[in-house]
Structure 1
Amino acid sequence: MTGTTGFDYTLTRSLDAPVHAVWQAWTIADDYAKWASAEEVVLDVRPGGAWSSVMVIPGGARVPLTGTYIEVEENKRLVMGMNVPGRDEPALMTMDLAADGEGTKITLSQTFDTAEDRDQAEAGSNMLLDGLTAFLATS
């Protein structure tokens, strides 16, 4: 068997903000914390750099997350690995940005081993994009 098999999703949204503003929202810890419902955010945005945060999910539960940046192409692409308990390999998420008139087209994509993991991550990514959209509208 060759290639990557699994359960994947791709979300695309048009954001009413220039590419550099969207990039900064993802790569500046204070900005990320504001829209991602995260605390204790540390972002070392470079290939091999580590990131960590504590997500505060609805209901108040706190979920610590850690990972590394795999690919960093400023104002264009981030590939982030997230450490998942019980998995040898990190879960990868790709964020692509493209100018869309005055705004930005953002695309998030991931692939998982199970439909359940994919559905959970897709719901989480939709929540992230909702938070990002609201943050950019007030910035």
Structure 2
Amino acid sequence: MSSERTPADDGLSYTLTRVLDVPVAQVWRAWTTPEQYARWAYAVPGSVEMDVRPGGAWKATMAAPDGQQFPLTGSYLEAEENRRLVIGMDVPGRPEPSTMALELAELGAPDGDRTQVVLSQTCDTVAERQAAEEGSTMLLDSLTTHLTGQPAG
């Protein structure tokens, strides 16, 4: 496994890249199956609903380490199985959703399948970008542990 962070010149965007030693279909299922997503994405069990298709809705209640819960909603803007998922996240007080893109690429390897995961987002402020990047890093760390049984790093 490997990890990489690419800051954007404008300070409002970020891109995180991971290479996981699992097949691309396994990564896709982790992101698009409610039961699996709840296991690794800090979601309250039973709170995740997903209609994974362009225009389909999603919702989840996230649980913070301190016990606080945060309901989230949104829709899928793009969904190309095993390749690309663009997720719109509703933000109170904002007319347009915040979007996050997930790109998956299968990498061949002599010892089995590997997947490159690229997660990117553009935010409205530097503070928002910092918080989103921190949250996305935590998600990718948890996804890595969930899929490989090994901590990220």
Q: TM-score, normalised by structure 2?
A: 0.85
Task: Find the partner of 2:83 among 63, 76, 98.
Answer: 76
Distance 1:107 1:10 in 2: 7
Alignment map for 1:87-126 (pairs within 5 Å): 87-101=94-108, 102-126=113-137
Amino acid at match of 1:16: D
Unaligned residue ranges in structure 1 (runs of 5+): none
Give yes or no for the alignment of 1:20 onto 2:25: yes
Task: Find the partner of 1:62 among 60, 69, 72.
Answer: 69
Q: TM-score, normalised by structure 1?
A: 0.93
Percent identity of equivalent pairs = 56
Structure with the larger RCO, 1 or 2 (CA within 8 Å, 6+ apart): 1
Alignment map for 1:30-69 (pairs within 5 Å): 30-39=35-44, 40-69=47-76
C-alpha root-mean-square deviation of aligned residues, in Å? 1.1
Unaligned residue ranges in structure 2 (runs of 5+): 1-9
Q: Secondary structure at the match of 1:46?
A: coil
| Corresponding residue pairs, total | 134
1:130 counterpart residue number: 141
Distance 1:6 1:90 in 2: 19
* TM-superposed deviation, 1:6: 6.9
